């Protein structure tokens, strides 16, 4: 007999294993291995560090190069052409306010002093250096010509020192401490303690309340008119033929109206109806653009050739750039530009009663652009009694059309009736007059008069104050 028994569950056929068996609760899978982390590269750090330091150094050098320099060091670094121009000129002192110190104005002069006298006033951003060729050409044509640098431009003073209240607070005191260290040294207070036995609290407090600051000379039209009048008076030019270029009319228009008797004629060179200058002053005001224009020769040349003149050579352009940025002159120029009368009306000015008898001439660029030629016709219509003449140069024609412009000025000036000047005799000193009177009474007039004449001549040669050279180079100028 056969006994049939049931098989246990373990005797059942095993299913096929799955390719990815699920882990049981008793056996936990091992965590997946993490990808290897990137190891810091020291070369990358030093690369970015070097780039950062280089950029900071570049901007530091750029900004420091635009900061005011020592006048003597600045002068010695100038191109030869600028130094030669300065050596041919003189400085005179002017004062716009009685309670302020006078400042120096540079002048360039050429020609016979007995001839017709012409004074050139340049526009903003220029100087007498830009008119040196016209000065030479006018002098060669028998005209006595003077060009001067407006304050804040060229070789004239561009800044002034003032005393103002020191601002309080932490930053104000910090600036004061820094200025004290720069001026007197780090151990100044310690030296005072050793010398006197006490801390100089009173002196420190007095100096902390007030400080000396250097501010740019930003003159308005009224003050610029005073400068023009003082230059004319000091150099004995009145009555004078005025040559006003670019934005100069807007700066001295009121002075002309108030001093018509001192004006023999007026010549306008590319002066717009609103007396706005050719040089875009915003390029000297916006920080990054300013550093680019003044620091890079190519950028400055591009700006001038696009807006002012296409005929200026590279060396002359660079000389203009050096004068423009030197001794913090851009701040003064921008400040003066903001104070111009932008509502100036040339038709109203030219039609005023005081100017009816003043001869006028308008010299205009006929090749700069169509828009500028149309502006010239508007100026000619606003001044119907003025002679209108075109030239072949740009809006700054004194470089590329100097002989042509000088010829027009000389022809216009010499075509007018000759100027009659009253020669004022110098008064005889009181003690000399007394000797003459005594000699006349005693009958020895001739003998004493000789002594008096000799003494009088000595007085004339001794007159006149000589002003020291502003750059300390021993080239004294004065009037």
Distance (Å, whole) CA 177 – CA 323? 33
Q: Higher pLDDT residue, 59 or 289?
A: 289
- 3-state DSSP helix/strand/coil % of the chain, to nearest 5: 50, 15, 40
pLDDT of the residue at 97: 87
pLDDT of residue 76: 83
What does the pLDDT average to over 392-399? 92
Look at residue 34 and tell me whether its pLDDT is greater than 60. Answer: no
Q: Could you give the CA distance from residue 98 to residue 94 in angstroms, rounded to a whole number?
A: 10
Q: Tell me the backbone φ, ψ of residue 375, rounded to 5 degrees.
A: -65, -35
* pLDDT in the model for residue 25: 47
CA-CA distance, 90 to 464, in Å (whole number)? 14
pLDDT in tens, 221-230: 999 999 999 9
- What angle is formed at CA 63 by the lines to CA 58 and CA 66, rounded to 5 degrees? 130
Place of tokens 């002012």: 308
Q: Are strands 159-165 and 117-121 parallel, antiparallel or unpaired?
A: unpaired
- Taking 80 as the threshold, does the pLDDT of residue 237 lie above it? yes
Give the model's confidence band at 39: pLDDT under 50 very low, under 70 low, under 90 confident, else very high. Answer: low
CA proximity to 382, closest of 350, 352, 355, 359: 350
Task: Classify 398 as helix, strand or coil.
Answer: helix
pLDDT of res. 160? 81
What does the chain come to in residues? Answer: 479
Query: What's the average model confidence in pLDDT over 451-474?
Result: 40
Two tokens, residue 156: 């004239």
pLDDT of 100 reads 82
* Angular region, 35: left φ>0, alpha ψ -120 to 50, beta rest: beta
Contacts of 257 (CB under 8 A, 6+ apart): 349, 352, 354, 355
Please name which of 243, 246, 236, 214 lies closest in space to residue 372, comparing C-alpha atoms.
Answer: 246
Rounded to the nearest angstrom, the gap between the alpha carbon of residue 428 and the centroid of all alpha carbons in its chain is 44
- What is the average per-residue pLDDT within 324-330? 81
pLDDT per residue as tens digits for the range 154-208: 999 988 876 666 555 555 555 655 565 556 665 655 665 566 655 555 565 555 5
For 343, the token pair is: 């509502």
Mean pLDDT of the chain: 78
Tell me what pLDDT residue 77 has.
Answer: 84
Query: Residue 459: its pLDDT value, please?
Result: 36
Which of 17-26, 341-350, 392-401 comes out lowest in average pLDDT? 17-26
Centre a 10 Å sphere on the Cβ of residue 288 and count the other Cβ atoms it contains.
8
pLDDT one-digit tens code per residue, 282-306: 999 999 999 999 999 999 999 999 9
Residue 137: pLDDT band by 50, 70, 90 thresholds?
A: very high
Q: Is the pLDDT of residue 258 over 90?
A: yes
Residue whose structure tokens are 């009306």: 345
Is the Cβ–Cβ distance between 211 and 163 less than 8 Å? yes
User: Which two three-digit tokens encode residue 186?
Assistant: 């780090």
The band of 329, judged by pLDDT with boundaries at 50, 70 and 90, is: confident
Between 440 and 260, the more confident residue is: 260
Element (H, E) at 385: none
Q: pLDDT-derived band of residue 342, with 50, 70 and 90 as boundaries?
A: confident
pLDDT at 104: 94
pLDDT score for 129: 96
For the chain, what percent of residues have pLDDT higher than 90?
A: 48
Q: For residue 43, name the pLDDT band (cuts at 50, 70, 90).
A: low
pLDDT number for residue 478: 42
153-157, 268-272, 324-328, 345-349: the lowest-pLDDT one: 324-328
The string of pLDDT tens digits covering residues 351-391 is 999 898 899 999 999 999 999 999 999 999 999 999 999 99
Give the Cα separation of 3 and 459 in Å (integer): 164
What is the structure's pLDDT at 80?
92
Is the C-alpha dihedral spanning 394, 397, 402, 405 positive or negative?
A: positive
Q: Read off the pLDDT band of 30 (50, 70, 90).
A: low
Distance CA 117, CA 144 (A): 5
Of residues 474 and 172, the one with the higher pLDDT is 172
The confidence band for 432, taking pLDDT boundaries of 50, 70 and 90, is: low
User: Alpha-carbon distance 118 to 109, whole Å?
Assistant: 10
Q: What percent of the chain has pLDDT over 70?
A: 63
d(CA 307, CA 71): 30
Which tens digit of pLDDT belongs to each residue from 80-108?
Answer: 999 999 999 999 999 988 888 898 999 99
Q: Annotate 60-83 with DSSP letters as a single string.
A: HHHHHHTSPPPHHHHHHTS-HHHH
The more confident residue out of 314 and 426 is 314
- Quick one: CA dihedral 113, 115, 116, 119, positive or negative? negative
- Are 362 and 265 contacting, i.e. CB atoms less than 8 angstroms apart? no
SS3 assignment, position 379:
helix
**In terms of pLDDT, which residue wins out, 379 or 53?**
379
């Amino acid at each position: 007999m056969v006994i049939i028994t049931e098989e246990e569950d373990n005797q059942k056929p095993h299913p096929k294993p799955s390719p990815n068996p699920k882990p049981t609760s008793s056996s936990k899978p091992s965590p997946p291995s993490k990808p290897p982390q990137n190891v810091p590269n020291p070369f990358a750090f030093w690369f970015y560090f070097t780039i950062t330091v280089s950029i900071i150094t570049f901007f530091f050098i750029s900004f420091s190069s635009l900061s005011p320099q020592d006048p003597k060091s600045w002068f010695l670094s100038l191109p030869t052409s600028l130094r030669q121009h300065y050596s041919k000129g003189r400085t005179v002192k002017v004062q716009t306010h009685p309670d302020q110190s006078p400042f120096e104005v540079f002048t360039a002069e050429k020609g016979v002093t007995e001839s017709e006298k012409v004074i050139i006033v340049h526009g903003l951003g220029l100087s007498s250096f830009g008119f040196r060729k016209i000065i030479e050409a006018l002098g060669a044509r028998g005209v006595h010509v003077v060009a001067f640098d407006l304050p804040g431009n060229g070789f004239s003073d561009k800044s002034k020192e003032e005393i103002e209240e020191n601002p309080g607070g932490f930053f104000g005191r910090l600036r004061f401490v820094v200025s004290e260290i720069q001026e007197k040294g780090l151990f100044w207070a310690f030296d005072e303690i050793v010398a006197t036995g006490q801390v100089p609290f009173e002196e420190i407090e007095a100096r902390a309340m007030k400080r000396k600051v250097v501010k740019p000379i930003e003159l308005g039209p009224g003050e610029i008119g005073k400068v023009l009048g003082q230059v004319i008076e000091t150099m004995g030019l009145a009555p004078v033929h005025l040559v006003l270029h670019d934005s100069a009319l807007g700066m001295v228009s009121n002075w002309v109206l108030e001093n018509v008797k001192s004006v023999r004629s007026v010549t306008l060179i590319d002066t717009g109806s609103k007396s706005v200058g050719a040089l875009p002053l915003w390029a000297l005001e916006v920080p990054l653009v300013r550093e680019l224009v003044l620091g890079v020769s190519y950028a400055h040349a591009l700006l001038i050739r696009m807006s002012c003149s296409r005929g200026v050579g590279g060396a002359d352009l660079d000389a203009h750039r050096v004068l423009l940025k030197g001794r913090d002159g851009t701040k003064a120029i921008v400040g003066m530009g903001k104070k111009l009368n932008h509502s100036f009306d040339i038709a109203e000015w030219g039609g005023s009663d005081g100017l009816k008898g003043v001869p006028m001439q308008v010299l205009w660029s006929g090749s700069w652009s169509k828009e500028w030629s149309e502006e010239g016709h508007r100026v000619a219509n606003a001044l119907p009694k003025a002679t209108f003449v075109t030239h072949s140069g740009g809006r700054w024609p004194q470089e590329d059309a100097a002989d042509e412009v000088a010829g027009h000025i000389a022809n216009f000036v010499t075509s007018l009736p000759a100027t009659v000047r009253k020669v004022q005799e110098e008064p005889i000193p009181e003690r000399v007059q007394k000797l003459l009177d005594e000699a006349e009474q005693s009958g020895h007039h001739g003998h004493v008069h000789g002594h008096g004449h000799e003494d009088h001549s000595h007085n004339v040669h001794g007159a006149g104050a000589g002003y020291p050279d502003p750059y300390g180079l021993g080239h004294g100028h004065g009037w």
